[in-house]
Structure 1
Amino acid sequence: MFSRRSFLGGLSAAALSAPLLGSAPTALAGRRTATVPLPLTIVNRSGQFDNSSIWVYVVGVNLDTGEQSRVTPDGQLVPVSLDDNGSDGFADYAIPLQSSGDTTLNLPSMSGRIYFALGDKLKFKVVTGGDGKPALQYPAGWVDSDPSHSVLHDTVEFTLKADGMYCNTTMVDMFSVPLSIRLRGAQDQTTGTIPAGGRERILSGVAEHPDFAGLRQQDLRVIAPGHGLDLGAFPNTYYDSYIDQVWSKYQGTQLRVNTGDGRVFTGQVSGDTFLFDGGVQPIGRPSTRDVLFCDGALAAPNDGVTGPVAAILGAGFNRSILHNIADQPGTDPSAFYQHEITNHYAKVMHANTEDGKAYGFAFDDVAGFASYIQDGAPSSITVTLTPW
């Protein structure tokens, strides 16, 4: 029903550990074997930047050793080191594109991110983590004080293992650069494609809603409302009246949550707590921030019980369908985002992708609406910077 990709939420500017990526579903595991290393082709169709103005970074975790690592231009997976920081204090892990045409790299087995920087390089920094080992600070471009704030950049997330490739485009933190993924193997799948002109439609569409207007950072990006809330650019009580409406409804009505594995959990509100049967831990009344980050009261432990229920509640709040649909998860996208209090950021993202799928919030994969694809026998992946 949902993947552990959902648990990522968002990295803080001071994150000292790699993101939780690629603990994705393994429904295809054991059927075939993935091609490792996997050919990765970068295609520049942006129409705004030539190849010489674009840099790629592949960073993440070595699945065998747990070390935070980066990929070299020749496809080697190398642990990050404090010695990688240059005289400016930052580690230059940039991989340039070919001077013209497409660029092909090799992805080793790992869990991580493919960053794209346009017009200037990103500022990664190796620091000492809480465990005393080298750790990588990732860009947090939505923060004004972050050294990469002024750089146009975006990312694709992936995990490549022997049992397959799991990958997605993401707007969980922000949206800046239109990217599309094509994954070929047992199937030929594409996701994340934004039609030409869609970038400006997204930036303008988010900003036209008064409460969301502060999420646009000039022509650089729009940031997720949770980050906007933390920066004082989004009201921290935005969802409160909707949460009250949901709480009021389920004081006298039962909510049924189907986790997609043959189990249905039934819950009802008592005071400030949503109580479910079947061993689900009590779920407290969430705050606006909890809804936007799918965290706090809506945090989803990887326990197979409370986790799936919390994820479905998080999706229901963001899509604003909990107040009128007592059987969750909702699966009709025409019913999503219709309440006046809703996640307009996610709504605009979905409205501007060719397949209607996007990762607009952390549990957007509930019921299969995320820009996520997987293949148990991948032969190649192509990431395209699509026309603006």
Structure 2
Amino acid sequence: MHIRRMPVAALLAALLMTVGLTGLGTWSPRAEAAVPATIPLTFTNNSGRDEPVYLYDLGTELATGRQGWADASGTFHPWPAGGNPPTPAPDASIPGPANGRSVTIRLPKFSGRIYFSYGRKLDFRLTTGGLVQPAVQNPSDPNRDILFNWSEYTLGDSGLWINSTQVDMFSAPYAVGLKRADGSTTTTGHLVPGGWNGFFAALRGRTGGWANLVQTRSDGTVLRALSPGHGTETGALPRTVMDDYVNRVWQKYSTATLTVTPFGDRPGTKYYGRVSGGVMRFTDASGAVVTSFQKPDADSVFGCHKLLDAPNDRVRGPISRTLCAGFNRSTLLTNPAQPDTSAAGFYQDPVTNHYAREIHARMADGKAYAFAFDDVGNHESLVNDADPQQAYITLDPLG
């Protein structure tokens, strides 16, 4: 178990309000929209499974910065002090709906996660630094044999962002949605029929260690596939799995220029990358070096961190997230003008993020958060609105 990083939805909300990143357009909340203290979330169970479902709404209260949980009415409860070793957290579970049924809870102004589990309650702990959440790449994690998943969301004065995510793992499928003030609804995250089984069959059929990402219970029940970043971390996937592609990229741009246009609303802002002495240096229009990158390893690529760290600034972060998307989608060799936003060219190289490839191939709308910056070019499974009337999470069949 380990303390989790900032949720994708929360990070996205922060980025939207600061740097206007590529592909996210120029959406801005309507000034007159007044988001209430809570909004309803309807949770529907279409899983086809008979086990009980447990829900959790955990996160950070935006008004105070306190960490805690919300009950079904949206009332906030701060976490008590933790310990070292971690102590059990209070039972924050909310009874979920039976198969074919729905329940409605209230979401407060949070940046956090909505967890759901099948059959058993999740085991959360508290340290002196805050909440410890499931980390099933650790075989001793107490949640390792529980089928569960989570959605990430931020609800604040500027509106609602809610997404489905596969950044850490692909597990129990679900979709998210919302209702707008005009009564229209939008949704994302549904798998195509047979998408669950198809994904695991494809991953297991691929050589090179990708099949090792799949986790099962002792009885053979498929629980999830770890993300390739966790795969390289645990040794399930070779750390050299992306080396051939990265080497070819470094070779290409030792004699060619990689042009990065990181802001969708500022096409005149461009940076130019060339490799020299094993380092890719980016210059601006004046020729001044603005940032540089050492040759990344697979862990840096899959996690969009370490050698591809992306701070929330206006230069290195936007360039890095563009590189991260290009490496994961294997578009850097075929298109020297990045980001490449057309999905037709994604994942075509034999060396690519096959985990992300197989997830996107089985999404009904093609959208997913299969790696941290899958939002480059609007390929992420996210819905947002400045004046949300209702939120939705729907559990899909595991078939």
When normalised by structure 2's length, the TM-score is 0.88
Q: Residue 53 of structure 2 contacts residue 97 of structure 2 at CA under 8 Å; is this kept in 1?
A: no
CA contact (8 A) 1:358 1:371 kept: yes
CA distance in structure 1 between the aligned counterparts of 2:337 and 2:245, rounded to whole angstroms:
18
- State the 1:30 CA deviation: 4.0
Shift of 1:35: 3.8
Measure the CA separation in 2 of the matches of 1:16 and 1:245.
34
Structure 1 residue 335, shift from structure 2 partner: 0.6
Residue among 213, 220, 235 paired with 2:238: 235
What whole-Å deviation, never above 9, does each CA across 1:290-342 have from its counterpart, x for those lacking one? Answer: 00111111111111111111000000000011012100011111110010100
Q: What is the alpha-carbon distance in structure 1 between the residues aligned to residue 354 and residue 71 of structure 2?
A: 39
Instruction: Letter of the 2:203 partner, please give it.
Output: V
C-alpha distance in structure 1 between counterparts of 2:391 and 2:277, whole Å? 50
Helix, strand or coil at the partner of 1:248: helix
CA distance in 2: counterparts of 1:311 and 1:200, whole angstroms: 31
Separation in 1, partners of 2:169, 2:53: 19
Contact 2:8/2:372 (8 A) holds in 1:
no
Aligned twin of 1:109: 109
Q: 1:336 to 1:128 in 2, by over 3 A?
A: same
Tell me the secondary structure at the aligned position of residue 220 of structure 1.
strand
8 Å CA contact retained: 2:162, 2:177: no
Following superposition, the deviation at residue 63 of structure 1 comes to 1.1
Which residue of 342, 356, 359 maps to 2:366? 356
Deviation of 1:283 after TM superposition, in Å, equals 1.6
Q: CA deviation at 1:143?
A: 2.1
Q: CA deviation at 1:386?
A: 1.3
> Of 212, 215, 222, which aligns to 2:213?
215
Paired-residue identity, %: 38
Which is further off, 200-209 or 216-225? 200-209
Q: What is the RMSD of the two structures over their aligned residues, measured on CA atoms?
A: 2.0
Is 1:14 matched with 2:2?
yes
Deviation at residue 16 of structure 1 after TM alignment: 6.9
For 2:270 and 2:153, how far apart are their aligned partners in 1?
Answer: 31
Match of 1:163 in 2: 158
CA contact (8 A) 1:35 1:379 kept: no
Q: Which residue of 2 aligns with 1:261?
A: 265
Moved more, 346-355 or 272-281: 272-281
Deviations 1:136-171 (A, max 9, x none): 101112321101000000010000001110111000
Asked if 1:376 corresponds to 2:386, the answer is yes
* Aligned residue type for 1:253: A
Quick check: 1:295 aligned with 2:302? Answer: no
Q: 1:190 aligns with which of 187, 192, 197?
A: 187
* 2:229 aligned with 1:200: no
Aligned length: 368
Could you list the per-position Cα deviations for residues 329-388 of structure 1 after superposition, in whole angstroms to 9, with x for gaps in the alignment? Answer: 111111100101000000000011100001111111111111112111110011000122
5+ unaligned residues in a row in structure 2: which ranges?
18-26, 217-221
**CA distance, structure 1, for counterparts of residue 202 and residue 106 of structure 2:** 37
Moved more, 198-207 or 171-180: 198-207
1:53-100 deviation line (CA, Å, top 9, x unaligned): 100011011112111110112210111114899x98353211102567
Q: Which amino acid aligns with 2:73?
A: D
Cα distance in 1 for partners of 2:199, 2:90 equals: 32
Q: Counterpart in 2 of 1:151?
A: 146
Taking the aligned partners of 1:384 and 1:20, their CA distance within structure 2 comes to: 19
Partner amino acid, structure 2, of 1:270? S
- SS of 1:315's equivalent in the other structure is helix
Are the aligned partners of 2:58 and 2:68 in contact in 1 as well (CA < 8 Å)?
A: yes
In 2, the alpha carbon distance for the partners of 1:195 and 1:324 equals 29
CA distance in 1, matches of 2:278, 2:161: 38
Matched, 1:387 2:397: yes
Q: 2:134 — aligned with what?
A: 139
1:7-53 per-residue CA deviation (whole Å, 9 max, x = no partner) reads xxxxxx32177657514124323432334311000000000235xx1
CA distance 1:92–1:144, change in 2 (3 Å): same
Who is 2:91 aligned against?
92
**Aligned twin of 1:37:** 38
Equivalent position of 1:77 in the other structure: 76
Cα 1:168–1:176 change in 2 (3 A) is same
